[in-house]
Chain A
């Protein structure tokens, strides 16, 4: 049981890290891109824009926390 908890904790920290909102926003961006691609929209620009925006939001949140 402890091994399973440790395994789950490793993957949580590996994927989610300090700010879960970044991981959720990236997942949402990838889902939105998949939907747009299936509608024949070549949405290569969407995820990079979300990456840049979420990085700024997360850094701002981190600086307010200190």
Chain B
């Protein structure tokens, strides 16, 4: 394999990890809140990203990613926890009975005429942060190996391929009832938010990026436990206060 091919494959795989996080957020928010404002947020994120990449170019690696991770991560964590909490309450109340309902049975969160700024901001932040990380990977790999062209192709291909997978998965995601979807997206946002915020503070995660799976497992178990507790309360098994 030539040097350019190695750089291309390495950049593709490293960028794909970041692109998966980006697409997970956009698809989750779009399916829960509606697609128009979510895609508007994602498109604006890509526009800002393009301007930043054009203006800074190779100087991108000088931008301090730590504070950016802390701010975006903290906001996603606090916001994700709200959906996590609402998701637990709604799934405990309705169960998974609606899992085969037609999507019209549960309307999306936002039905207004204007822009849904919640969907816009969450989608925008996910695209800008993850897109910047892809740009850092491209610049670092490309500049160090003197193969910037191959690195740019690898990074761009990762976003296109993972984005296409997201488009396909979107149809499956729409089959999930909104209450369960809100819980799933809440758990995912809380997971990424916790990971990024603490990375931004300089914490060294055990297992590095693998810690995301550990956090996800912890929050899934937490959700299952609290749903069981809430269901007992809803069904009237709790002792009277």
Interface residues of A (CB under 8 A from B): 10, 14-19, 22-23, 26-27, 30, 33-34, 37, 42-44, 47-48, 51-52, 54-56, 58-59, 62-64
Task: Check A44 against B78 for contact (C-beta < 8 Å).
Answer: no
Across-interface contacts of B89 in A (CB, < 8 A): 59, 62
Task: Check A43 against B81 for contact (C-beta < 8 Å).
Answer: no
Cα distance, A19 to B79, chains bound together (Å): 11
Cα distance, A9 to B201, chains bound together (Å): 28
How does the 8 Å CB contact mask read for B126-161 relative to A, with 1 for contact and 0 for none?
Answer: 000000000000000000000000000000000000
Across-interface contacts of B202 in A (CB, < 8 A): 37
Cα distance, A63 to B218, chains bound together (Å): 23
Task: Check A14 against B121 for contact (C-beta < 8 Å).
Answer: yes
Nearest opposing residue in chain B for A56, CB measure: B226
Task: Check B118 against A33 for contact (C-beta < 8 Å).
Answer: no
Task: Check B215 against A48 for contact (C-beta < 8 Å).
Answer: yes
Are A15 and B79 also in contact (CB < 8 A) when A44-B211, A47-B197, A63-B233 are?
A: yes
Task: Check A26 against B77 for contact (C-beta < 8 Å).
Answer: yes
Cα distance, A22 to B11, chains bound together (Å): 39
Please name 18 further chain A to chain B contacts, defined as beta carbons within 8 Å, in addition to the given A22-B82, A30-B70, A63-B233, sorted by A numbering: A14-B79, A14-B118, A18-B85, A26-B77, A26-B78, A30-B197, A33-B201, A37-B201, A37-B203, A42-B203, A44-B211, A47-B198, A48-B215, A51-B194, A52-B218, A54-B81, A55-B84, A64-B241
B37 in contact (CB, < 8 A): no
Task: Check B85 against A19 for contact (C-beta < 8 Å).
Answer: yes
Task: Check B78 against A43 for contact (C-beta < 8 Å).
Answer: no
Task: Check B78 against A48 for contact (C-beta < 8 Å).
Answer: no
B230 in contact (CB, < 8 A): yes
How does the 8 Å CB contact mask read for B89-105 relative to A, with 1 for contact and 0 for none?
Answer: 10000000000000000
Task: Check B79 against A44 for contact (C-beta < 8 Å).
Answer: no
Are A34 and B201 also in contact (CB < 8 A) when A14-B121, A55-B226 are?
A: yes
Across-interface contacts of A34 in B (CB, < 8 A): 201
B117 in contact (CB, < 8 A): yes
Q: Which of B79, B81, B121 has the most CB of A within 10 A?
A: B81
Cα distance, A63 to B92, chains bound together (Å): 11
Across-interface contacts of A43 in B (CB, < 8 A): 203
| B126 CB → nearest A CB, Å | 14
Task: Check A62 against B85 for contact (C-beta < 8 Å).
Answer: yes
Task: Check B203 against A33 for contact (C-beta < 8 Å).
Answer: yes
